[in-house]
Structure 1
Amino acid sequence: MQMAVDKWLLEQHLAGKHPHTLRFYTWMPAVISLGFHQHKYPESWQSLSWQGKKLDLVKRPTGGRAVLHQGDLTYAVVTSGLSNSRMQAYQEICEFLIVGWKQLGIDLDYGTAGRGYIHNPNCFGTATSADLVTNEGYKLIGSAQLRKDNVILQHGSMRLQPDAELFSRVFGEDFVTTEDFANLNFETIIDVLISAARDCFNIEFEIKPLTEDEWKIIVGVNGC
């Protein structure tokens, strides 16, 4: 459903029917999202469960590798009029994330991994120049992008409170824990990031829930 909403917002903005959008969401139950072009993944992922509930697999409209959505916070930006350069557009959008997390006491910078990352099914297994890492090398935010004409959907996962045992079962590698985010609640993070986005983009936000008719359209079009 979350991926259906993001895709619908992009199409609405493309048609001139919806303004620029910033939204935040979590996933329930836990989910593994696959990049749009990611067709190969471990067969075991189809039978994973956590806390008695099956882990669903969902395809993102954006690229990149697999992301385990558990204990994370996702942001999504739908906008237009940015640079035609993919990486420059990433950096224009990511500015509010860097500014906001600095206000929360975490310095972030871009990753440096080359194209070899495509052989790793785990999005958080490497950090590319589209991702944000801490000074200690912890990849906090992995982002992905879809562009249609001059409209961009960029969304990303902020890895805050993952379950280390589940992470190991999914990706077959140990998760290096960090206590940097233990005392931060999602509401605080969202408030700070909205304020940072307001300053970075020089824009005022209006909270606007989807209407009942809009939900019906999204559900009907995507078969959710």
Structure 2
Amino acid sequence: MHGEYKVVGGKMVVADLEVREGKLADVRISGDFFLEPAEALTDITAALEGLPAASTSEEIITALDQGIPAGTALVGFSVEAIAIAVRRALGVAKSWRDFEWQVIDTEPMAPAMHLALDDILARDVAAGKRPPTLRFWQWDRPAIIIGNFQSLKNEVDLEACERLGVQVVRRVTGGGAMFVEPGSAITYSLYAPAELVGDMDFAASYAFLDNWALEGLKGVGIDAFYKPLNDIASPKGKIGGAAQKRYAGGMVLHHATLSYDMDAAKMMQVLRIGREKISDKGIASAAKRVDPVRSQTGLPREEVIARMIGTFQTMYGATPGALSADELTRARALAAEQFETEAWLTRVP
């Protein structure tokens, strides 16, 4: 049995093994990682040898933690990465190619509709009604989308929003507020089975689920990298951020927004970006946090999105998809019942 796992921003870990009488046997761990001392590789394989084939990732990690001598340096990989490779060899840890993905590039829609679609599609994937999906959003108006747990009055200048025609909505995921206008941002959602990130901790799953986007950005000339917990950045500054929600039934909603050509002056009028947040970034002006994709690529937004979709399809074998009439109908109802209501928007005043 053979399993591979590429650590995002790190090295490849390969597990080759057999199962005899329900236990791991002839375990061999290899890869392009660094390990000091090198003799610790024997300790790693010894810790895995004889483990029940039904071991959970937590049980494999515990065995490795107990079997690897203190002071051993695992560089470019981790015990979690070893556990994932082992479970992939056993066929119990899923990779992207184990699922049939669809890609949808939606028409311009109201912010509340996009938020409702996130919830509808996430639940449909969890219920097996829709395949795992990547969806790109198109905005039909300027908007601020605040995080589920943010205070409305602390984050948003409502008078400025009314004056400038900016709609404010609240999403179901945590994280910070984002300002968007038609053509100014690249927003996408992943509706992924929880099995895909089942052996990862919460932080590792962020970088893993956005790795294809980093590759897509590199393909258009941006030296993109992940800055924990949830920022996508380049040497010239922050590009965007991601957020997640885990659903019952085994589904992960992961979405991100990247700045393409953001109006920093307008953003500063409608968002109350506190001095503490600015100082935490080590910068003097919040406007400097906006580093548009356009300035680093010189490409039209539509071409950047097309290339990102192409990267996803090449890496994971996705096919084009579309929203169904039923999905749109249910999303309109949910938008009216929840995301367009004052009660939802002001749930954290």
Contact 1:5–1:218 (CA<8 Å) still a contact in 2? Answer: yes
Q: Among 183, 186, 191, which residue is 1:78 paired with?
A: 191
Matches within 5 A, 1:1-224: 1-42=113-154, 45-49=157-161, 54-70=165-181, 71-80=184-193, 81-84=195-198, 85-111=201-227, 128-136=228-236, 138-149=237-248, 150-171=250-271, 173-176=285-288, 178=291, 181-182=294-295, 183-200=298-315, 202-208=316-322, 210-223=323-336
Structure 2 length-normalised TM:
0.54
Classify 1:212/1:139 alpha carbon distance in 2 versus 1 (closer, same or farther; 3 Å): same
Shift of 1:156: 0.9
Structure 1: which 4+ aligned runs deviate by more than 4 Å?
Answer: 177-180
In structure 2, the gaps of 5 or more residues are: 1-112, 274-284, 341-349
Contact 1:25–1:73 (CA<8 Å) still a contact in 2? Answer: yes
CA distance in 1, matches of 2:217, 2:238: 13
CA distance in 2, matches of 1:91, 1:198: 18
Larger Rg: 2
- Residue 241 of structure 2 aligns to a residue whose secondary structure is strand
CA distance in 1, matches of 2:293, 2:305: 17
In structure 1, the gaps of 5 or more residues are: 112-127
Q: Deviations over 1:111-148 (max 9, x none)?
A: 2xxxxxxxxxxxxxxxx422111012x11121001111
Q: Name which structure has the greater RCO, CA cutoff 8 Å, separation 6+.
A: 1
Task: Identify, as 1 or 2, the structure richer in helix.
Answer: 2
Shift of 1:214: 2.4
Shift of 1:74: 0.5
Aligned length: 204
Contact 1:144–1:155 (CA<8 Å) still a contact in 2? Answer: yes
Structure 1 length-normalised TM:
0.82
Shift of 1:157: 0.7
% same residue = 25
Shift of 1:87: 1.8
Shift of 1:105: 0.4
CA RMSD of aligned residues (A): 2.1
Tell me which amino acid in the other structure corresponds to 2:168.
L
Tell me which amino acid in the other structure corresponds to 2:172.
P
Q: Deviations over 1:59-115 (max 9, x none)?
A: 11111011111211101111112223212221221111110000100011122xxxx
